[in-house]
Structure 1
Amino acid sequence: MSNAPRSFQTLRDQYRHMGLRTDLMEAEPEFTIFNLRDTLHEHLPFHSPVHRLNFFVFSFTKAGKGQYTIDGQTHPIEPGMVYFTNPGHLRSYIWEDIEEAYLITLSEAFLKENVHADIFDEFPFLLAETFPGRRLSAEVYSEFERIYKQIHHEYLHHSPFRKRIIGNLFVVLLLKIKEHFWLDYNPIYEGNRSSLIVKNFKLLLEKHYRELGEGKVSQPYRVQDYADAQSLHPNYLSTVIKTKTGKSIGTWIAEKTIGEARSLLQHTDVSVKEIAYRLGFTESAHFSNYFKKHTKLSPAAYRNERNRTQS
């Protein structure tokens, strides 16, 4: 039997695998928020297996103690601690004690659809290869606490505008993180050679799909193009990306294609045929089948559903 770390597409999948309660999470996996104590208090001390998550994780610990490990680097969890991780990293954690520690998880699609279509331009630190958690003063932590508890309130409220409200509140949260942690962040100067390769690949992927969506370029990049941009052999680039993130370049490209398609369907009036063309599909029917395979909805049905929830 393989001992390779498990990868999870949603937090619900991960918690179900670990035998933890999942009733605090709604069926829709793109955004969750809850107090970890409500999930883990019967299992303390809790040691998670090493795993990879395909979504963003934000953790706010007001009262609790433990540690978390990201890509082999271990950091303490203490009262007043804030940290986040982005998709693809090997991670595990230990909770020795927990009274109040709120966890927010959300997908890239949620960020781009409900927070900001160009989220990584305004907040490039979200693509940071590493983010050691930071312990805040009680005064500064209380600023974050007010925001995440308001987000939690809206999450439970079930307003027809809930996602838009949460998205706007999350902008405030990200601005606070930027204010206190990342004013001097340089996305190029970070980590070792492999980390830099991953960072540059993510930045190029994001830039290229933004240009595709805006109609500035007409042909999606191949693996060779991403490799040429860093003067690397495509096999080497593929190996680094797979090893560091747990996902192949093909998976990154597929997820970005769907993410950009969803953003265009929700935020623009561009026709499905034009979206298909911009994203490199020669036939709109091929694009529709591809989109439905990944989202369970046709592009038209997805657009109608999003318009209905925002009206």
Structure 2
Amino acid sequence: MKKEKIKVFDTLFDQYQHMGVTPEFHGKESNFTIFRLQEVFRELPFSAETSRLNFFVFNFTKNGQGMYHIDDEQYAIRPGCFYFTNPGHYRSYTWTAIEDVTLITFSEAFLKQYVHPHIFDQFPFLLAENFPVRNMTEEAFAEFERIYTQIHKEYVSQSLYRNELIGHLFVVLLLKVKEYFWEDYNPINEGNRSSQIVKRFRRLLDGHYRDVSSGKAETVLHIQDYADDQNLHPNYLSTVIKTKTGKSIGTWIMEKNMAEAKSLLRHTELSIKEIAYRLGFNDPAHFSGYFKKNAGVTALAYRKGN
């Protein structure tokens, strides 16, 4: 029997469209969504097929029941619990009861643009590989509820500064998650050898592009450079990254390039030509074509907010 190919979704909109579910997304192009699951899944039980997601997921279950599968792990979803998923993992779930459940999804690009360009320095747990469902007391859950309720209020608003307001509120939410669950987080103690390879690659990738963005690095790294950093053959590194995350190294580098390009366009006075050179493009015209292909708009239009 032929094994069914696992589907990969870049946004929650893509996943739900595939599932035939149509919740109301407010500005889906912002790469951020927040909504209540009870307004979406009205016929229960509901099961989602296994897929790989290229975005982050925060789930706050005030009152609901179900099962959550992440890679080879399985967790029960009960009232008062929180779970977190980052990009690249196998994920599926089943809901048997939903009375009050809030789901938040967001992309790395959103974090970089509206929260902080060096988001993973302050919140390294966002790159964590192991994140079991966490249960909270009513008092603790109420603290989170006040924050995500305010985020939802801004999400459905018509404010010109909606994403900026959400970004600031999201910092509060991340700090609260860090306070309750990850103050003792130590990435060195987490995961097997393949997990460590992925973590080191992602940290070098993020740190290098931080240097690129600030002008400290004059050249961009290539696959061979990332392999040399861990004394690995590039083919082996590529295989591990693809197997563990569902994305090739080339895709990781492209996405990081785009995230940094967008940040530089929006937050600096560098010319498009200077940005192109900083990101390793010898020909600004090549950068312009690359940016439009991956962003859907020209670099100039993006800078102007179009």
TMscore range, shorter length: over 0.9
Query: Which deviates more from structure 2 when the two are superposed, residues 169-178 or residues 65-74?
Result: 65-74
> Which residue pairs with 2:5 in the alignment?
4
SS of the residue corresponding to residue 189 of structure 2 reads coil
Q: What is the CA–CA distance in structure 2 between the aligned matches of 1:249 and 1:22, rounded to whole Å?
A: 33
- Residue 52 of structure 1 aligns with an amino acid whose one-letter code is R
Question: Contact between 1:11 and 1:29, CA under 8 Å: does it hold in 2?
Answer: no
Q: What is the CA–CA distance in structure 2 between the aligned matches of 1:280 and 1:26, rounded to whole Å?
A: 32
Q: What is the CA–CA distance in structure 2 between the aligned matches of 1:120 and 1:270, rounded to whole Å?
A: 24
> Which residue pairs with 2:132 in the alignment?
132
1:21, CA displacement in angstroms? Answer: 1.8
Q: RMSD in angstroms over aligned alpha carbons?
A: 1.2
Q: What is the CA–CA distance in structure 2 between the aligned matches of 1:270 and 1:2, rounded to whole Å?
A: 49
TM-score by length of 1: 0.96
SS of the residue corresponding to residue 281 of structure 1 reads coil
> Which residue pairs with 1:95 in the alignment?
95
Question: Contact between 2:8 and 2:51, CA under 8 Å: does it hold in 1?
Answer: yes
Q: What is the CA–CA distance in structure 2 between the aligned matches of 1:255 and 1:171, rounded to whole Å?
A: 22
> Which residue pairs with 1:309 in the alignment?
none
CA displacement, residues 20-61 of structure 1 (integer Å, 9 cap, x when unaligned): 12334544250100001111122x111110001111111000
Q: Is residue 252 of structure 1 aligned with residue 258 of structure 2?
A: no
> Which residue pairs with 2:225 in the alignment?
225
Identity, in percent, stands at 60
Question: Contact between 1:37 and 1:100, CA under 8 Å: does it hold in 2?
Answer: yes
> Which residue pairs with 1:168 in the alignment?
168
CA displacement, residues 270-308 of structure 1 (integer Å, 9 cap, x when unaligned): 1111111110000111111101111111111111117xx
1:188, CA displacement in angstroms? Answer: 2.1
Superposition map of 1:279-294 within 5 A: 279-294=279-294
1:16, CA displacement in angstroms? Answer: 1.1
- Residue 190 of structure 2 aligns with an amino acid whose one-letter code is E
- The number of residues matched between the two structures is 305
SS of the residue corresponding to residue 187 of structure 2 reads coil
Superposition map of 1:167-246 within 5 A: 167-246=167-246
Which stretches in structure 1 are left out of the alignment for 5+ residues?
307-311
CA displacement, residues 244-269 of structure 1 (integer Å, 9 cap, x when unaligned): 11000000000000001011111111
Which stretches in structure 2 are left out of the alignment for 5+ residues?
none
Q: What is the CA–CA distance in structure 2 between the aligned matches of 1:288 and 1:22, rounded to whole Å?
A: 35
Question: Contact between 2:264 and 2:270, CA under 8 Å: does it hold in 1?
Answer: yes
CA displacement, residues 101-132 of structure 1 (integer Å, 9 cap, x when unaligned): 10000111110100111101111110111211
Q: Is residue 41 of structure 1 aligned with residue 47 of structure 2?
A: no
> Which residue pairs with 1:154 in the alignment?
154
Q: What is the CA–CA distance in structure 2 between the aligned matches of 1:207 and 1:125, rounded to whole Å?
A: 16
- Residue 8 of structure 2 aligns with an amino acid whose one-letter code is S
Q: What is the CA–CA distance in structure 2 between the aligned matches of 1:289 and 1:93, rounded to whole Å?
A: 39
Q: What is the CA–CA distance in structure 2 between the aligned matches of 1:137 and 1:179, rounded to whole Å?
A: 15
TM-score by length of 2: 0.97
Q: What is the CA–CA distance in structure 2 between the aligned matches of 1:75 and 1:134, rounded to whole Å?
A: 10
1:2, CA displacement in angstroms? Answer: 5.4
Query: Which deviates more from structure 2 when the two are superposed, residues 174-183 or residues 263-272?
Result: 263-272
SS of the residue corresponding to residue 188 of structure 2 reads coil
SS of the residue corresponding to residue 40 of structure 1 reads coil
SS of the residue corresponding to residue 100 of structure 1 reads strand
> Which residue pairs with 2:23 in the alignment?
22
SS of the residue corresponding to residue 157 of structure 1 reads coil
Q: What is the CA–CA distance in structure 2 between the aligned matches of 1:222 and 1:133, rounded to whole Å?
A: 36
> Which residue pairs with 2:64 in the alignment?
64
- Residue 261 of structure 2 aligns with an amino acid whose one-letter code is A
- Residue 158 of structure 2 aligns with an amino acid whose one-letter code is H
Question: Contact between 1:12 and 1:25, CA under 8 Å: does it hold in 2?
Answer: no
> Which residue pairs with 2:84 in the alignment?
84
Q: What is the CA–CA distance in structure 2 between the aligned matches of 1:47 and 1:304, rounded to whole Å?
A: 42
Question: Contact between 2:65 and 2:97, CA under 8 Å: does it hold in 1?
Answer: yes
> Which residue pairs with 1:31 in the alignment?
32
